């Protein structure tokens, strides 16, 4: 648990079904201190580019911009999924000044805040 907002965010993806679109992937990011959703994005085709959208939303909303080192000091908890471990994803979060903080392999409880968010979504 963090002691202040914007120290650590968690991000992950889940799948759901909609009548209009069928199966979709929902990417989200949540603040570990406040449990506030800082970004959410639903898509038909999940990819590393789509996984970044909640982080982009959060950077703009909570740090005022999407620019180099704007979120310096923020840690980002994520799993070892291919979208999150891709070079593109890692490069872009580092560009923002974010320090990646991968959860342990096959340990979803290491990213429990976002898992809890998805259970209540």
**Angstrom distance (rounded) from CA 8 to CA 113:** 11
Mean pLDDT in residue range 90-106 = 91
**pTM assigned to the model:** 0.91
Could you confirm whether domain 8-120 is CATH 3.30.420.10?
Answer: yes
pLDDT digits (tens, 9 = 90+) for 40-89: 999 999 999 999 999 999 999 999 999 999 999 999 999 999 999 999 99
Q: Where are the domains of the chain?
A: 8-120
pLDDT band at 8 (very low <50, low <70, confident <90, very high): very high
Residues 5, 28 contacting (CB under 8 angstroms) = no
């Amino acid at each position: 648990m963090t002691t202040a907002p914007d120290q650590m965010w968690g991000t992950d993806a889940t799948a759901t079904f909609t009548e209009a679109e069928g199966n979709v992937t929902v990417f989200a990011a949540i603040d570990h201190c406040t449990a506030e959703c800082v970004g959410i994005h639903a898509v038909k085709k999940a990819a590393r580019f789509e996984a970044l959208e909640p982080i982009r939303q959060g950077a703009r909303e909570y740090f005022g911009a999407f620019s180099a080192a704007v979120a310096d000091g923020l840690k980002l908890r994520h799993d070892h999924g291919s979208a999150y471990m891709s070079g593109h994803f890692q490069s872009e979060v580092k560009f923002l000044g974010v320090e990646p903080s991968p959860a342990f392999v096959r340990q979803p409880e290491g990213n429990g805040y976002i898992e809890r968010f998805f259970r209540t979504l």
